[in-house]
Amino acid sequence: TAGARVAAVDLGASSGRVLAFDVTPDRIASTEVHRFPNGPVRLGGTLHWDVLGLYRGVLDGLRAAGPGLAAVGVDSWAVDYGLLDATGALLGNPVHYRDGRTDGVPDAVHARVPAAELYGVTGLQVLPFNTVYQLVAAAGTPQLAAARHLLLIPDLIGHWLTGARFAEVTNASTTGLLDTRTRTWSAELLARLDIDAGLFPPLVEPGAVVGSLLPHVLAGTGLPAPVPVVAVGSHDTASAVVGVPAAGRDFAYVATGTWSLVGVELDGPVLTEAGRRANFSNELGVDGTVRYLRNVMGLWLLQECLREWGDPEPGPLLDAAAGEPALAAVVDAGDPAFIPPGGMPARIAAACARTGQRPPGTPAAVVRCVLDSLALAHRRAVRQAAGLSGTRVGVVHVVGGGARNTLLCQSTADACGLPVLAGPVEAAACGNALVQARALGVVTGGLAELRGLVRASTGVVGYEPRGDTAAWDEAEGRLGLA
Ligand code: LRH
C-alpha cells in the first residue's frame, strides 16, 4: 500500500486524545482530531475513572477522524483495569491508581511472596498501585467475586470497540503478574496470591490485529466497514518509546507527562538485586524489547501545585521560575509520598524542611524547585539505568508533554551532562500509529526504521549541557539518597 490513515487513541491521566495519522513509507503526518478532559472522580470515598466518558470521547474522536480510516489503535496509562461479569457487563467504574486502597498492601503482599522473589519473576519496580497490589486490596469484595474477566484500560476500550477480549503484553507487563522473561502470565504468582487466573485473557503482542469495529460502533461513528483494530504498544510509555526519534542505540529516554519514565531500551530483562534496590522496572516493549526504566513523579507535581493555586496560566509562572536561582531547594521526585492528590505545595515544603532546606517561598520558586527536582531525578535514573544495564548513553531524548518545557529540558541536559533532544510531544501517538501502519504493511522494518520515520517527520529541539555537574552532585547529596 502507498499510504494509509490510522487513528491513534492516546488516553492520559489528564486528557484523552485522538490523532489521525497519514502514513506513507517515508513520512508520517498527524492531526489532532479530538481532545477531551480526563480526571479522577471521587465517589463513596474511592477515586474512580469515568471510563464510559472516555469511551464516548474515543467514539467522538473516531467520528472526527473521518471515513477512510484503515485502522485504530488504543494506548493509555498502565496498571488500571475494568472487571466484567459473566454476561460481559462492566462491574463498577475502574478504580484510579491514586486511590488509597493500596496503602500498606505492598508490605502485606511481600510477607506472602518476598519482594526479591516477585522481582525475580516480574522485574517490576514496587509502586503501590501495581495491579497485583490493587487486586490483593480488592480481595473478598463482592465485585471481584462476581468478576469473570479483567481487562486493562486500553484492552477494555478495545473490547468495547471489537467484542474481543485480549491483554496486550506491554501494558500487561505493568501488572506485576507477568513473567518478564517469557512474556506470559505467571501462573505461579497468581496461585500464590490467590488471584483467579481465569480473569486474565490471552496475551497478544503489539502488531496483532485483534478484531474490527463492531457494527454498532461503525454506525455510531459514521465509519464505513471494515476497520481493523490493531494491538499497539498499549502501554502509553511503550508507544512513546517507539516514538523516540533516536538515530542510534546509545540513547536514554525520558517519557514525560503526568509521570517521567526514565531509562534505556534493552534486548532482555536485567533482574539483578542492585536493579531491584534501585527500583528499576523491566517493562516489556514493542518487538521483544525491554524498557529498563524507573517511574518518577513527573509533571504531576507541577499540575497539582497549579490546581492548588487556582489554575493560573502556566506560561508566566514558568518564565518566572526560569529567573529563580537554580537548585535552591530540591525534593526526591521518586518519593511515593507525592502520589496522592491534594496539598502539593505544602507537601513539597515539608519535604524540603525534612532534608534541611529552606522551603521555596513563592509560586515561582516552588515551580523552580519542582523542575530542578525532576531534572535531578532524570539524571539519577539515566545514570543508574546505564550503570545497572551496562549501556552506553550519549544522548537523552525527552518526549511527551515535558518536551515543550524549555526549562525542564535545559535543566535535564545540565543535570545529566549530556545533550538532550526534545520532541515529539505526541511520541506515544506516533508510536501507536507506526505499529498500526506496520501491521497494515504500509511501512516495514524494525524500531530503527520506525524511529527514522519519526525523525524525518517531526522536529526536535536540541539542548547542550551547560557548566559542570558539580552543583547537581551537591543538590543530590542533600536528599541523602542511597
Ligand atoms: C504513564 C503511565 C506510567 C505508569 C503510570 C501509572 O502514563 O502509564 O508508565 O507508571 O502511568
Q: Are 354 and 337 in contact (CB under 8 A)?
A: no
Q: Which atom of ligand 1 is nearest to the CA of 79?
A: 6
Q: Whose CA is nearest to atom 1 of ligand 1?
A: 77
In the reported structure, the alpha carbon of residue 134 is separated from the centroid of ligand 1 by a whole-number distance in angstroms of 15
What is the C-alpha to C-alpha distance for residues 162 and 216, in angstroms, rounded to an integer?
10
In the reported structure, the alpha carbon of residue 277 is separated from the centroid of ligand 1 by a whole-number distance in angstroms of 20
Where does the pLDDT of residue 467 fall: very low under 50, low under 70, confident under 90, or very high at 90 and above? confident
pLDDT at 311 over 80: yes
482: nearest Cα among 326, 338, 292, 332: 332
Q: How much is the average pLDDT of 116-139?
A: 98
Give me the phi and psi of 178, to 5 degrees please: -105, 145
| Residues in contact with 161: Cβ distance below 8 Å, sequence separation at least 6, in sequence order | 58, 72, 74, 211, 213, 214, 217, 229
Where does the pLDDT of residue 109 fall: very low under 50, low under 70, confident under 90, or very high at 90 and above? very high
Best mutation site among 54, 124, 258, 338 for ligand 1 pocket (most ligand atoms within 8 Å of CB): 258
- Is the CB of 79 inside a 6 Å radius of any atom of ligand 1? yes
User: Could you report the predicted ipTM of this complex, rounded to two decimals?
Assistant: 0.98
- Is the CB of 391 inside a 6 Å radius of any atom of ligand 1? no
Best mutation site among 261, 292, 338, 432 for ligand 1 pocket (most ligand atoms within 8 Å of CB): 261
Which triple of cell numbers denotes residue 188?
505461579
Q: Whose CA is nearest to atom 4 of ligand 1?
A: 78
Q: Which atom of ligand 1 is nearest to the CA of 237?
A: 9
CA angle 449, 455, 457 (to 5 degrees): 105
Please write the tens of the pLDDT for every residue from 392-439.
999 999 999 999 999 999 999 999 999 999 999 999 999 999 999 999
Identify the pLDDT of residue 419: 98
What is the C-alpha to C-alpha distance for residues 328 and 79, in angstroms, rounded to an integer?
35
- Is the CB of 237 inside a 6 Å radius of any atom of ligand 1? yes
Q: Which atom of ligand 1 is nearest to the CA of 261?
A: 9
Supply the mean pLDDT for the chain. Answer: 97
Residue 95 β-bridge partners = 48
Query: Which percentage of the chain shows pLDDT scores above 70?
Result: 100
Where does the pLDDT of residue 1 fall: very low under 50, low under 70, confident under 90, or very high at 90 and above? low
What is the C-alpha to C-alpha distance for residues 382 and 367, in angstroms, rounded to an integer?
22
Count Cβ atoms within 10 A of the Cβ of residue 390 and give its class: 0-12 exposed, 13-18 middle, 19 or more buried: exposed
What is the C-alpha to C-alpha distance for residues 321 and 327, in angstroms, rounded to an integer?
11
Identify the pLDDT of residue 415: 97
In the reported structure, the alpha carbon of residue 323 is separated from the centroid of ligand 1 by a whole-number distance in angstroms of 31
Q: Which atom of ligand 1 is nearest to the CA of 259?
A: 1
Identify the pLDDT of residue 66: 87
Q: Which atom of ligand 1 is nearest to the CA of 12?
A: 7
Integer angstrom CA distances of residue 461 from 20, 267, 397, 423, 425: 24, 28, 10, 7, 11
| Residues in contact with 145: Cβ distance below 8 Å, sequence separation at least 6, in sequence order | none
What is the C-alpha to C-alpha distance for residues 1 and 24, in angstroms, rounded to an integer?
8
Which triple of cell numbers denotes residue 81?
483495569
In the reported structure, the alpha carbon of residue 124 is separated from the centroid of ligand 1 by a whole-number distance in angstroms of 13
Integer angstrom CA distances of residue 109 from 83, 113, 135, 139, 471: 21, 6, 11, 12, 40
Helix 115-122 / helix 105-112 crossing angle, nearest 10 deg: 90
How many Å is the Cα radius of gyration of the chain? 21
Please write the tens of the pLDDT for every residue from 28-62.
999 999 999 999 999 999 999 999 999 999 999 99
In the reported structure, the alpha carbon of residue 376 is separated from the centroid of ligand 1 by a whole-number distance in angstroms of 20
- Is the CB of 236 inside a 6 Å radius of any atom of ligand 1? yes
Integer angstrom CA distances of residue 275 from 294, 383, 384, 387, 463: 10, 12, 8, 10, 29
Integer angstrom CA distances of residue 59 from 51, 55, 74, 237: 12, 6, 12, 23
Locus of grid cell 491508581: 97
356: nearest Cα among 377, 379, 330: 330
Identify the pLDDT of residue 23: 98
What is the C-alpha to C-alpha distance for residues 416 and 375, in angstroms, rounded to an integer?
8
In the reported structure, the alpha carbon of residue 400 is separated from the centroid of ligand 1 by a whole-number distance in angstroms of 12
Please write the tens of the pLDDT for every residue from 87-97.
999 999 999 99
Q: Are 183 and 284 in contact (CB under 8 A)?
A: yes
Q: Which residues are known to be catalytic?
A: 236
Identify the pLDDT of residue 41: 97
Q: Are 37 and 53 in contact (CB under 8 A)?
A: no
Please write the tens of the pLDDT for every residue from 261-287.
999 999 999 999 999 999 999 999 999
Which triple of cell numbers denotes residue 58?
474515543
